[in-house]
Amino acid sequence: MSRRDKLLSRFTAKPCPKDFSWDELSSVLRHLGYSELMAEGSRRRFVHDQSKHVIMLHRRHPIDTLLPRQIKQVIDSLKEQGAI
């Protein structure tokens, strides 16, 4: 199993990981074909290169970890698109 596969497995694990970082999320989404774009302030937009599906998130600061609700939001959005 590759590092990205392990990361995706950890990302979708139940219960949600409490120490999943922003960089890990970016890596997972890049692996699935998304590009990260800056929006206003701390908002970030991930856009799928082919389908143009958009995932909007607020990047927490100074803490670099995601909240469980943010992980759930991304997983639900990816499931709707059939990406995972």
pLDDT tens-digit profile of 11-42? 999 999 999 999 999 999 999 999 999 988 99
Residue ranges of alpha helices (H) inside 1-84 are 3-11, 22-31, 68-81
Residue with tokens 């469980």: 68
Give me the count of residues in the chain: 84
Residue with tokens 């199993």: 1
Give the C-alpha separation, 78 to 61, whole Å.
Answer: 24
Q: Are 49 and 34 spatial neighbours (Cβ–Cβ below 8 Å)?
A: yes
Pairing mode, strands 34-38 and 54-58: unpaired
Q: Which CATH class is domain 3-75?
A: alpha beta
* pLDDT tens track for 54-77: 999 999 989 999 999 999 999 999
Domain ranges of the chain: 3-75
